[in-house]
Chains A and B, each alone.
Chain A
Amino acid sequence: MDRAKKGKLETVRKLAPIEALEEAVGRAIELGKPIMTTYSFEDSFSAPNMVGLESVRYVSKLAAAKGGKVLVGVGAARTLPLAVENYRLGCVEAGAPEMFDDRNVYFFTQQQWAYTSGVIGLMNKERPAACTFIGPFLVEGIHLGIVSRRIGTISIGGNTSYSMGAFMFVTMDYLLLGEEMFAASAYMSGDPILISNITAGDTVKWVLGIVILVGTVVALIGTNYIGQLLGV
Chain B
Amino acid sequence: MSQIIRRYIPIGMMMILGLLLFAEFFIQFDDPWKSMVSNSSMEVQNYAIIIAGFAMGLGAINLLITHGSSIMKREKGQWPFSAWLLGVMIVFTVVGLWLGTSSNQYQFLFNNFYYPNDTTIYSLIGFMVVYAIYLTFRAKTYETTYMLVLAFLALLGNSPIGPALFPPLTDLQNWLSSVPNTAAVRGFYMAMSIGAIVVGLRTLMGRERAALGG
Seen from chain A, the residues whose Cβ lies within 8 Å of a Cβ on chain B are 43, 45-48, 50-54, 56-57, 74, 76-78, 80-82, 84-86, 88-89, 102-103, 105-107, 109, 111, 113-114, 116-117, 121, 125, 139, 142-143, 145-146, 160, 162, 167, 170-171, 178-179, 181-183, 185, 189, 191, 193-194, 197-198, 200-201, 204-205, 208
Q: Is the CB of B66 within 8 A of A103?
A: yes
Query: Could you say which residues of chain A place their CB within 8 Å of the CB of B128?
Result: 142-143, 146
> CA A191 – CA B209 in complex, angstroms?
10
Known: A77-B52, A205-B190, A205-B194. A85 touches B117 (CB 8 A): no
Q: Is the CB of A171 within 8 A of B132?
A: yes
5 tightest Cβ-Cβ pairs between the two chains A and B: A85-B213, A182-B195, A53-B210, A77-B59, A47-B199
Closest residue to A84 on the B side, CB-wise?
A: B213
Q: Is the CB of A179 within 8 A of B192?
A: yes
The answer, among B62, B69, B77, B202, for a CB contact under 8 Å with A197, is B202
**Interface residues of B, dominant DSSP:** helix
Q: Is the CB of B210 within 8 A of A160?
A: no
> CA A194 – CA B62 in complex, angstroms?
33
Q: Is the CB of B66 within 8 A of A54?
A: no
Number of A-B contacts (CB under 8 A): 155
C-beta contact mask, B177-214 vs A, less than 8 Å → 1, else 0? 00000000100111110111011111100011111111
The answer, among B135, B191, B214, for a CB contact under 8 Å with A178, is B191
Cβ of B76 to closest chain A Cβ, rounded Å: 11
> CA A187 – CA B191 in complex, angstroms?
17
Query: Could you say which residues of chain B place their CB within 8 Å of the CB of A160?
Result: 192, 195-196
Query: Could you say which residues of chain B place their CB within 8 Å of the CB of A162?
Result: 185, 188-189
Q: Is the CB of B135 within 8 A of A47?
A: no
Q: Is the CB of A77 within 8 A of B190?
A: no
Cβ of A119 to closest chain B Cβ, rounded Å: 11
The answer, among B119, B194, B201, B209, for a CB contact under 8 Å with A179, is B194
Closest residue to B209 on the A side, CB-wise?
A: A189
Q: Is the CB of A113 within 8 A of B199?
A: no
Closest residue to B189 on the A side, CB-wise?
A: A162
Query: Could you say which residues of chain B place their CB within 8 Å of the CB of A56?
Result: 210
Seen from chain B, the residues whose Cβ lies within 8 Å of a Cβ on chain A are 51-52, 55-56, 58-59, 62-63, 65-66, 69, 77-78, 81, 114, 117-119, 121-122, 124-125, 128-129, 131-132, 135-136, 185, 188-192, 194-196, 198-203, 207-214
The answer, among B62, B69, B192, for a CB contact under 8 Å with A107, is B62
Q: Is the CB of B121 within 8 A of A86?
A: no
**Chain A to chain B contacts (Cβ below 8 Å), 16 pairs:** A47-B203, A50-B208, A78-B52, A78-B55, A85-B213, A102-B62, A105-B66, A117-B121, A143-B125, A171-B132, A178-B189, A179-B191, A179-B195, A183-B195, A198-B198, A201-B194
Q: Is the CB of B213 within 8 A of A78?
A: no
> CA A170 – CA B129 in complex, angstroms?
10
Q: Is the CB of B62 within 8 A of A47?
A: no
Instruction: List 12 additional A-B contacts (Cβ < 8 Å) besides A51-B210, A85-B213, A105-B62.
Output: A47-B203, A74-B59, A84-B213, A113-B122, A121-B81, A142-B125, A160-B192, A178-B195, A179-B194, A191-B209, A205-B194, A208-B190
Q: Is the CB of B209 within 8 A of A54?
A: yes
> CA A173 – CA B137 in complex, angstroms?
16
**Interface residues of A, dominant DSSP:** helix
> CA A58 – CA B61 in complex, angstroms?
25
Query: Could you say which residues of chain A place their CB within 8 Å of the CB of B207?
Result: 191, 193-194
Cβ of A79 to closest chain B Cβ, rounded Å: 8
Q: Is the CB of A117 within 8 A of B117?
A: yes
Closest residue to B137 on the A side, CB-wise?
A: A170
Closest residue to A191 on the B side, CB-wise?
A: B207
Q: Is the CB of B65 within 8 A of A103?
A: yes
Query: Could you say which residues of chain B place their CB within 8 Å of the CB of A114?
Result: 114, 117-118
Cβ of A71 to closest chain B Cβ, rounded Å: 11
The answer, among B118, B135, B210, for a CB contact under 8 Å with A82, is B210
